[in-house]
Each structure stands twice: as structure tokens, then as C-alpha cells.
Amino acid sequence: METTAFHRSILVGLMESFNAFINPPINGTPTADVVSLLLKTLQKVPNVAQSHASDILPLLLKFMGYNSENPLCVGLYNSEACKGEEWKGLLKQSLALLKLMKNPRSSRFSQFVNDVLLYRFLDDDDAEIQMSVLEFLVLSNDYLLPHSHRLENLIKPKKLRDELTTWNFSKDIEEAHRSHFVSLVIRILMPKRTSICHREAVLGVISQLDVNELSLFFALLMKPLNIISDEAADLFWSSGESSLDYFQKSKFSKYINVDALSTLSWKMKSGFLHVIQHILKVFDVFHVRPFLDFLMGCVVRLLVNNAPTIDEESNNIDREIVSTNHDQAGSAPKQFKELRSLCLKIIALALKKYEDCELGSEFWDLFFSASQRRRRTVVATTLVFSFPVLMERISTFLLLFYTRPLWLHSEVELVHIIVKMFKSSVLFFYFTSHIPFFYFTSHE
């Protein structure tokens, strides 16, 4: 009886401390250490935690930002309550307790907790969080047990590459579990794509999946950026069974929040663009074509976002002012040039590799809206827009143009050359409505 009362007191203390951590009183004593100690105590008596799952799970859900009385969707949580190193440390302790509870199915919240771990935390960039989530999911899904060791190796950086080269998981999985398993593997691998040393190997494995299984992968590219509006974020919190047709009809890139895009750091933008560049190089045409509009929609929006509103080279502008205005995306003007250049290289690569691609009028409207802000970009981006059969001839000229000072070029002469180059193209009529406008608006 005394033991039961002691365990009950621990649970009561945990509830009070969790509530104090989530809603700290003014001038209150920090409670993170207290919560951590209580969680560690419960980890030593997991049978007690499991027998009180109906009390503990709602508390953990509240800590994760959900309405503990009636959680509706994995994606509907209070992100402001889930920040900071203290919160992350307590999350790890909570996950450690959950996996010791061995899938508390007795609680009505058990399935929702399972979904939260799978759809929200399995693709976390922290390997410790990933491992705890995986261990919990393996206990919840018996078919994962034979593959648990290999799945764990996908999380460990030192063993990832070897596992990717030796394990053909597509052939080892029963068809009945394939969809769920592929979704799980994609989520585990998503954080690994950011590592330069692992990126090509990870993309190489994903590129071998069936094209109908790739919707989740391309959707999750956007998740860490946190720039997609809520109404289009369903694919983040789904099993990955969404059809390719659904992904294409959703027009994912249209839901990019421009304001949120502007707040991204230069490092995040550059990393995202390099991943897209590697995808275009590693994936074959068949696997990329259904998602090309989405990828190019992302690239062109980043191009617009990094297009200067002034000509930094032609005007005598204080560099510190320019740096301050663009601080959120990288302090140095050189970084903006690198991002714009990378965007153009990716677009050129796509046009060369996918000769018959139709990117649509919205893409080109955005493309030219970025181009008309700067005189040098007018000619360079026009060259990139050329039909693919001319791309190799133009590449040398484009490189030369970017490396030479602007004053060495005659803009009128260059525009006339470009018009001649497009004279035999069906795109010529599109340019006749744009080039004069660019020329007169950018001419000094």
C-alpha cells in the first residue's frame, strides 16, 4: 500500500511539474530539473508508468503542444510551446519513458501518440530522438522486429553508408507492409540528406523507389523550412500513401509563405537548393518529371526572394545598408549573388535534362519578375531560358558574361544577338513582349 501511494505521489508530482513547466508562474522556480528527475524515476519503474498510461499520455501530449483532452491532428500543435534546449531535453526523457512502457494500448490516446512519434519526430535531425522513436515503433509493429537492427544503422552516421550499400530493403519487405515501411525509411533518411558526405548515397537509394512512392519524400523536403501554409501541410502528417496524382493536383509550391521564406537563413536556402541540384543529377528523368513543376516552383520563388530591388553594382550604395536590409537571408551581398547564381544553374540544368518540360506561365512570370530588377540578370536569365538544344553553346557565353564587368558589354548588341538566337523558336513571341520592357526599364 505504501509503495502504491509513493508511485501515486510521483505521478501527481509529475503532473504538477509538467503543468508548471508548460505554464510557468511569474518569478517561479525553474521546473525543468524537477520534471527530468520525475521522468527518470518513472523510467526505473516502467510497470507503474504503464499501469497509469491513461494519466501519463495526456500529460505528455500537452507537453508536446497538443490539446490533451481532444487532440485532433498531428500537425495541430502549439509550436511556441515546443522550443528551447530545456524542452528538447525533456522530450528525450519523455521518449525514453514511452519506449519503456511498451506501447500502452490500454489508453485511448495510444494511437495518437504513435502517430505523433511517427509523423512528427521520426524525421527529426537529432539521432537520439530518432532512435527512441524507432524503438517505440518497433515495439508497436511486430513486422519491424526482423529489420530493427538495419533500421537502427540508418540512424547511426558511422554505419549509414554501409547499410545503404548492402541492404536492398525494397526486396526484403512483404507487399502488405511495403507502403508503411517505405514511409518509415524515407522519414528516417530525410535528415541525412543534409550531410554532404551522405547526400548522394541517400538520394541514390530513394531514387530506386517506385515513382508512386516518392510523394512523401518531395513533400518532406519542405518540412524543416516551415514555409508551407497549414492547409497544404497534410502530406507531412500522413502515412505516405497519398497518390502521385494528389501531390500534383495539390500544387504544393503555391502554398509557400513568402514572408516565411524571407526569414530563412542563407545557409538554409543554400542547403535546400543544393539538395534540389543533387536530386536533378542523381534521379533519372522518369522519377523526377512528375515533381519537376514543384521543384522548379521552389527554385523560382527563391530566385524572386533573392532578387535585389536595386542594382548594387551600378549604384553607389553603402554596403552596410544592403547588408542590414538582407540580414535574415545572409549578411553579405556576395551570398545573394551566390544564391541567384545557384538558382539559375538549377533552372539551366532542368531545361537541359528535360528538353520537353512545360513549366507553365506562372513559373515564367515569376522568373521574369526576378529578372527585370537587375540589368545583368536580364540577359543572363534570358540566356538560361533558351531552348535546351542551345544550352551547351550558351553556357560558355553565360559564364563569360558573369565573369566580365558589366561595362564591357553593349546591352543593345547583346539583346539583338539574343533575339536572333530565338528567332526560330516558338518562344520568340513570348520574348517580344518581355525584352523591350526589360530593356527600357533597366536602361540607365
The Cβ-side half-sphere exposure at 13, using a 13 Å CA radius, reads 18
Residue 166 pLDDT grade (very low, low, confident, very high; cuts 50, 70, 90): confident
Mean pLDDT of the chain: 74
How far apart, in whole angstroms, are the C-alpha atoms of residue 17 and residue 8? 14
Residue 16 pLDDT grade (very low, low, confident, very high; cuts 50, 70, 90): low
Q: What is the pLDDT of residue 274?
A: 92
The Cβ-side half-sphere exposure at 114, using a 13 Å CA radius, reads 17
Decide if 286 contacts 296 (C-beta within 8 A).
no
Please provide the DSSP assignment of 202-250 as one string.
HHHHHTTS-GGG-HHHHHHTSGGGT-B-GGG-GGGGS-S---HHHHHHH
Q: What is the pLDDT of residue 317?
A: 43
Residue 431 lies in a domain: yes
- How large is the average pLDDT for residues 25-36? 66
Is the sign of the CA dihedral 114, 116, 122, 126 positive or negative?
negative
Domain that holds residue 408: 374-444
Residue 405 pLDDT grade (very low, low, confident, very high; cuts 50, 70, 90): very low
Residue 253 lies in a domain: no
Q: What is the pLDDT of residue 30?
A: 54
Residue 139 lies in a domain: no
How far apart, in whole angstroms, are the C-alpha atoms of residue 250 and residue 295? 14
Q: pTM of whole model > 0.85?
A: no
Decide if 203 contacts 164 (C-beta within 8 A).
no
Residue 121 lies in a domain: no
Q: What is the pLDDT of residue 332?
A: 60
Residue 310 pLDDT grade (very low, low, confident, very high; cuts 50, 70, 90): very low
DSSP 85: H
- How large is the average pLDDT for residues 115-134? 93
Q: Does the pLDDT value for residue 397 go beyond 50?
A: no
- Per the structure, how many domains does the chain have? 2
Q: Does the pLDDT value for residue 283 go beyond 80?
A: yes
Decide if 379 contacts 414 (C-beta within 8 A).
yes
User: In this predicted model, which residue has the larger pLDDT, 306 or 430?
Assistant: 306
Q: What is the pLDDT of residue 272?
A: 92
The cell numbers describing 321, all together, are: 545598408
Residue 156 lies in a domain: no
Residue 127 lies in a domain: no
Q: Does the pLDDT value for residue 229 go beyond 60?
A: yes
Q: Does the pLDDT value for residue 252 go beyond 80?
A: no
Residue 128 lies in a domain: no
Cα Dmax for the chain: 94
Residue 30 lies in a domain: yes
Q: Does the pLDDT value for residue 389 go beyond 80?
A: no
User: In this predicted model, which residue has the larger pLDDT, 238 or 214?
Assistant: 214
Structure confidence by residue, pLDDT tens digits, 133-146? 999 999 888 889 98
